[in-house]
Amino acid sequence: MEGLRERKKRETRDAIAAAALALFLERGFDAVTVVDVAVAANVSEKTVFNYFATKEDLVFANAEEKLFERAEAIRLRSPGTPLSRVFLADTLRFLDAIEAGEVDRAMTVPRLVRASPALRGRLMLAWELEAATLTAAVTDDEDDLIAAAAVRSLVWANRVVFRAAMRRLIGGEDPADVARDLRAEAERVYAQLDLGLAGYGA
């Protein structure tokens, strides 16, 4: 169970991230300094860096936790479950959130990234870390090129659905329509990959 010290650290981290996100949305990522974030969060600049190594990390504050959860879902999947089912479930959860009205939250980071070259570069690094982490959840053999290729294919399947959703939502389409259409598309995408992967990872 989370102790008092751990809870206070988590609350401080969350408060810093929330203050940073509000400033980034108001002024743009590149126009905000770490000092600005510290002032808004009522902490010192050193405290910000104690929790976030770089300014870019403030945008992707929960990425590490989410990546760990995705890796665990792969490791703990039931015997006989193809790897694609884990990725499909993750994609469908995203579409459920869109349909439930969580559009603004889903679009926050993409909007910031689109407007900042620094964040686009950071995202490229995050994508490579994601692929490496999820591949490691599949196999202990770092030279297993089949696992690396399979995971990257599935990661990009998830990503293309996400991008399609963002494009349509930015275009003003109804979230329920977007979610409905892309659920069917996601099922087709992963089914097509299954034909090539032949149940890989089951």
For the chain (202 residues), the mean pLDDT of every run of 10, in chain order, is 82 94 93 96 95 93 90 93 93 93 83 90 92 95 93 95 92 93 95 85 78
Amino acid letter for position 57: D
- Residues 155, 131 contacting (CB under 8 angstroms): yes
CB atoms within 10 A of CB 111: 15
Domain 63-197 matching CATH 1.20.120: the answer reads: no
User: Do 4-55 and 63-197 come out as alike in CATH topology?
Assistant: no
Amino acid letter for position 150: A
The pLDDT value given to residue 2: 64
- Residues 84, 190 contacting (CB under 8 angstroms): yes
Map residue 81 onto helix, strand or coil. Answer: coil
Domain 4-55: give its CATH superfamily: Homeodomain-like (1.10.10.60)
The structural domains of the chain, with segments of one domain joined by +, span 4-55, 63-197
Q: In the structure encoding, which two tokens stand for residue 114, read together?
A: 């689109």
